[in-house]
Chains A and B, each alone.
Chain A
């Protein structure tokens, strides 16, 4: 009797009866612990160029493959991002590719189940695509193409948050990296300099002599090149001042730490402007040549004395004065380097304006030792018909479309704020209220909806209201297991991606080559996007069918080729980093309405915003509550890396930084576990107390990204606590659309139980 079965193993005719097993059988006794003698580097190793995807810095890497497995990832010297070095996340990324918890096959939510219940059945890619297509067309029919929102982050967001929504016809494409990260600085920079910051922060660390960091966690955020540059500057003897309510890693390298009261940085900046102006320490020639509006600034800052700021910031007036004078003394090789995550209190665009103004008065913008001017790379698109809609997603790569789309409704977050790029958190409400028009579909590509967007209960309610929710991801994160269709992407080590161009001092282009075949039924993002695009009737926008041909064509446009890239990994082009370079060619880098750096922003004035920044105090919390601050761990990336046992071994649990005296008042010792309850009564925890001298008494701090409620991720689940679940309230920055996330307050409830976790070594061995 036979059961029906699909035969997928073929026995080649030559082998039938050929072997006797006899003694040979003994040779195959598997030893569970010792592998073959000698380590991987003693055997034959091949190398492949790729680009790391374990954070958004995206260093060029060399991937070493032996025995069909990735064994090591290193930076390489010819790559301007890695320069032969790599951060712990880059090295540790291998564990993610071989993570048994990875998404393996397309899954479709079981009919009759509710979103979040976690009941799925397997589907072929074909069936998954058909399901999605049917629902997409139904939404289009009933609500219009704008009713589908596209969220994305990562190299593939080019397809899912830019290209596909542009082809499909939805302006509601958003990247969390815009309004949950850089939006205020991009908007401030655009309207001050006429240029964005756009990705790699363009600081001339190699020539600067005096650096002031404002809440910029270099060393805890391990943006490889920035860390290298920062370290070299310090080694060279550059002076460092760190302004932060917490004694961060960067603060530990500083000549001065200014433990500022949270939320008052703008007052400090205004006081510095006051000193620079009233003591005439500004760069007069620079201001005359390049800027407009200095006269107005002079009048504006008269009242913002260091004494005024001291009372607000809790910093000594004399220190404030001294730092301003020291900045001026080192100018123009004195700089306030811009950080990345700047959505703090809701008034952040104005703070960034003040921040840039200090730099301007030092005359450092476009000058060695200050800010250089990034040049974008030259890299032609693969020829395709123009997209019906210009993407408006912004993110680290820019500010998004300036024009409202013609022939389509504007993005559903319009009229909430002035900036032009979409704000991801503002696209949640339309999913619930249907205002200004309903959003009924959502694609989430590599975007952790529950760890990034504030007000998690609101996000969950929104998801429940959708007709279609598709998640494209690598791991079974909590938000992924709410989707109707789960599409498993191959990890970056297993796939090609589009070319990555970096605006830089000397711009460059990087290519990603697959090191190993995709495991299970996972597929690269470009393939998913194309297959879906074709089924949605958008095939004309994907006029290539071979991705290698796509890459090769783009590279030939700059006189290179895929084969050349395979041997080089990176192509470097020439940039024009300083004002002198632009002037030599008779070009003006400042794309402002006036063509000058606008100290005074007429555009802001015309739109009802302060044309020069003012200090507005942040919301205060209830008595007995602490302001909740958060930040980064050097071995983790947002909420992405917490199922990685190698990285979790380095940092397996976040702790709540609480001032030691405050801890003593609560009767808490270092290592005690507590609950946290925020101003809206939301509880989170247990979390361990880190009683420390390194933080002020009015705030607490925790590293972001822990506290996963994702039982399918055996390492990540329940380790540490989640800051985002406590961030139920946010203050919208009405200029940029950024979500100010640091106006949440928590009280401490002692006596939480110590969590019991399976030791990581056991989990890495997975002998549960």
Chain B
């Protein structure tokens, strides 16, 4: 059984949002909510500057806070460690939205919850998620953490720096950020956000 993970090389990401738009179309995500968005943060003072472009989405935590709070059991960890939810059994109580510290979940206008599922329908068919496939800077990697030769394992090994969002929460995210240009780790939320 593979252990799926994703890695995004922030040294390469330019925040173009191709991933975000591809996701919207692939997964029929309505305007107004997002499974995937870009956070860009300006750091430094003129002329010593950097910008971190950081795509954010569900991190498919190994220890997800959203799963235990679901009253109907429609939130679950599926094959490969993907954190999934069954739309039809969702009653729209929003407990999982509140539980997620990463804002990864949203309420679909039709009254059920949605979030990134690593394009489970594609992964099942042996393809990569839509965001990974389309990225024009080739900054996304997806694959099996337990396979040392998978692109994601290689990328993690070769990265200069690997970070996850809010590691102190113990969620054990499986979306890794590589090579952030921010000097001291991933840009914090308190700093100026551009988009």
Q: Are the C-beta atoms of A86 and B22 separated by less than 8 Å?
A: yes
Known: A91-B22, A693-B45. A253 touches B30 (CB 8 A): no
Task: Name the segment of B46-54, B73-81, B146-154 touching the other chain.
Answer: B46-54
Bound-state Cα–Cα, A627 to B20, Å: 34
Q: Are the C-beta atoms of A85 and B134 separated by less than 8 Å?
A: yes
Interface residues of A in 629-673 (CB under 8 A from B): 634-635, 645-647, 649-651, 659-660, 670
Q: Are the C-beta atoms of B44 and A235 separated by less than 8 Å?
A: no
Q: Are the C-beta atoms of B42 and A235 separated by less than 8 Å?
A: no
Bound-state Cα–Cα, A220 to B38, Å: 14
Bound-state Cα–Cα, A88 to B121, Å: 22
CB contacts (< 8 Å) of A759 on chain B: these are 32
Q: Are the C-beta atoms of B134 and A91 separated by less than 8 Å?
A: yes
Q: Which residue of A lies closest to B137 (CB)?
A: A231
Known: A71-B25, A235-B138, A760-B32. A222 touches B18 (CB 8 A): yes
Q: Are the C-beta atoms of B49 and A88 separated by less than 8 Å?
A: no
B192 within 8 A of A: yes
- One digit per residue, 1 when the CB lies within 8 angstroms of any chain A CB and 0 when it does not, for chain B 5-31 equals 000000110111110111011111011
B169 within 8 A of A: no
Q: Are the C-beta atoms of A231 and B15 separated by less than 8 Å?
A: no
CB contacts (< 8 Å) of A75 on chain B: these are 134
Q: Are the C-beta atoms of A86 and B25 separated by less than 8 Å?
A: no
- Among B27, B31, B121, B138, point to the contact of A228 (Cβ < 8 A): B138
Q: Are the C-beta atoms of B18 and A259 separated by less than 8 Å?
A: no
Bound-state Cα–Cα, A40 to B27, Å: 8
- Among A85, A235, A257, A635, point to the contact of B12 (Cβ < 8 A): A235
Say how far A737's CB is from chain B's closest CB, in angstroms.
32
Say how far A225's CB is from chain B's closest CB, in angstroms.
8
- One digit per residue, 1 when the CB lies within 8 angstroms of any chain B CB and 0 when it does not, for chain A 86-98 equals 1110111010000
Q: Are the C-beta atoms of B25 and A634 separated by less than 8 Å?
A: no
B195 within 8 A of A: yes
Q: Are the C-beta atoms of B32 and A85 separated by less than 8 Å?
A: no
CB contacts (< 8 Å) of B195 on chain A: these are 650-651
CB contacts (< 8 Å) of B86 on chain A: these are none
Known: A88-B17, A252-B50. A694 touches B137 (CB 8 A): no
Known: A74-B134, A92-B25. A690 touches B16 (CB 8 A): no
Q: Are the C-beta atoms of B21 and A252 separated by less than 8 Å?
A: no
Q: Which residue of B lies closest to A257 (CB)?
A: B47
Most buried by A among B111, B134, B194: B134
CB contacts (< 8 Å) of A765 on chain B: these are 30-32, 109
Q: Are the C-beta atoms of B12 and A234 separated by less than 8 Å?
A: yes
Q: Are the C-beta atoms of A41 and B121 separated by less than 8 Å?
A: yes
Q: Are the C-beta atoms of A86 and B12 separated by less than 8 Å?
A: no
Say how far A49's CB is from chain B's closest CB, in angstroms.
17
Bound-state Cα–Cα, A764 to B34, Å: 14
Say how far B81's CB is from chain A's closest CB, in angstroms.
22
Q: Are the C-beta atoms of A227 and B44 separated by less than 8 Å?
A: no
Q: Are the C-beta atoms of A228 and B136 separated by less than 8 Å?
A: yes
Bound-state Cα–Cα, A42 to B134, Å: 21
A249 within 8 A of B: yes
Bound-state Cα–Cα, A702 to B134, Å: 28
Q: Which residue of B lies closest to A94 (CB)?
A: B25
- Among B11, B21, B27, point to the contact of A88 (Cβ < 8 A): B21
A72 within 8 A of B: yes
Q: Which residue of A lies closest to B31 (CB)?
A: A764
Bound-state Cα–Cα, A501 to B195, Å: 37
CB contacts (< 8 Å) of B17 on chain A: these are 88, 634-635, 650-651
CB contacts (< 8 Å) of B181 on chain A: these are 252
Known: A247-B49, A650-B21, A761-B32. A85 touches B192 (CB 8 A): no
Q: Are the C-beta atoms of B136 and A222 separated by less than 8 Å?
A: yes
CB contacts (< 8 Å) of A693 on chain B: these are 42, 44-46, 49
CB contacts (< 8 Å) of B31 on chain A: these are 645-646, 649, 760-761, 763-765
Main secondary structure of the interface of B (DSSP, over half): loop
Q: Are the C-beta atoms of A219 and B16 separated by less than 8 Å?
A: yes
Say how far A615's CB is from chain B's closest CB, in angstroms.
23
Say how far A767's CB is from chain B's closest CB, in angstroms.
11
- One digit per residue, 1 when the CB lies within 8 angstroms of any chain A CB and 0 when it does not, for chain B 167-187 equals 000000000000001000000
B110 within 8 A of A: yes
- One digit per residue, 1 when the CB lies within 8 angstroms of any chain B CB and 0 when it does not, for chain A 685-721 equals 0000010111010000000000000000000000000
Tally of A interface residues using CB under 8 Å: 62
Interface residues of A in 41-80 (CB under 8 A from B): 41-42, 71-75
CB contacts (< 8 Å) of B27 on chain A: these are 39
Q: Which residue of A lies closest to B43 (CB)?
A: A693
Q: Which residue of B lies closest to A41 (CB)?
A: B121
Bound-state Cα–Cα, A354 to B75, Å: 62
A558 within 8 A of B: no
A232 within 8 A of B: yes
Bound-state Cα–Cα, A230 to B88, Å: 44
A28 within 8 A of B: no
Bound-state Cα–Cα, A672 to B32, Å: 24
CB contacts (< 8 Å) of B22 on chain A: these are 72, 74, 86, 88, 91
CB contacts (< 8 Å) of A763 on chain B: these are 31
Say how far B140's CB is from chain A's closest CB, in angstroms.
11
Bound-state Cα–Cα, A61 to B172, Å: 38
A33 within 8 A of B: yes
Q: Are the C-beta atoms of B136 and A224 separated by less than 8 Å?
A: yes
- Among A33, A92, A659, point to the contact of B21 (Cβ < 8 A): A92
B100 within 8 A of A: no
Bound-state Cα–Cα, A494 to B25, Å: 18
Interface residues of A in 231-251 (CB under 8 A from B): 231-232, 234-235, 247, 249, 251
Say how far B103's CB is from chain A's closest CB, in angstroms.
16
Q: Are the C-beta atoms of B20 and A252 separated by less than 8 Å?
A: no
B135 within 8 A of A: yes
CB contacts (< 8 Å) of B46 on chain A: these are 247, 259, 659-660, 693-694, 696
Known: A85-B18, A87-B16, A252-B181. A694 touches B138 (CB 8 A): no
Q: Are the C-beta atoms of B50 and A85 separated by less than 8 Å?
A: no
Bound-state Cα–Cα, A659 to B46, Å: 9
Bound-state Cα–Cα, A248 to B18, Å: 18
Q: Are the C-beta atoms of A91 and B51 separated by less than 8 Å?
A: no
Interface residues of B in 118-139 (CB under 8 A from A): 121, 133-139
Q: Are the C-beta atoms of A764 and B136 separated by less than 8 Å?
A: no
Bound-state Cα–Cα, A40 to B137, Å: 28
Say how far B112's CB is from chain A's closest CB, in angstroms.
9
Bound-state Cα–Cα, A234 to B192, Å: 27
Say how far A250's CB is from chain B's closest CB, in angstroms.
8
Q: Are the C-beta atoms of B25 and A85 separated by less than 8 Å?
A: no
Bound-state Cα–Cα, A345 to B88, Å: 60
A84 within 8 A of B: yes
- Among B11, B25, B28, B47, point to the contact of A253 (Cβ < 8 A): B11
CB contacts (< 8 Å) of B21 on chain A: these are 88, 91-92, 635, 646-647, 650
CB contacts (< 8 Å) of B33 on chain A: these are 761
CB contacts (< 8 Å) of B109 on chain A: these are 33, 765
Say how far B14's CB is from chain A's closest CB, in angstroms.
4
Q: Are the C-beta atoms of B25 and A73 separated by less than 8 Å?
A: yes
Q: Are the C-beta atoms of A85 and B110 separated by less than 8 Å?
A: no
Q: Are the C-beta atoms of B137 and A227 separated by less than 8 Å?
A: yes
Most buried by A among B22, B33, B38, B42: B22
A-B contact list, 14 entries, CB within 8 Å:
A33-B110, A39-B27, A39-B121, A85-B135, A91-B18, A94-B25, A252-B50, A257-B47, A635-B16, A635-B17, A646-B25, A670-B192, A692-B42, A761-B31
- Which 5 interchain pairs have the tightest Cβ spacing? A761-B32, A764-B31, A219-B14, A231-B137, A634-B16
Binding site for B on A (CB under 8 A): 33-34, 37, 39-42, 71-75, 84-88, 90-92, 94, 218-220, 222, 224, 227-228, 230-232, 234-235, 247, 249, 251-253, 257, 259, 634-635, 645-647, 649-651, 659-660, 670, 690, 692-694, 696, 759-761, 763-765
Interface contacts beyond A670-B192, A694-B42: sample of 15 additional A-B pairs, CB < 8 Å, sorted by A: A33-B111, A74-B133, A87-B18, A91-B18, A234-B11, A249-B15, A645-B31, A649-B31, A649-B32, A650-B17, A651-B17, A659-B46, A692-B42, A694-B51, A696-B46
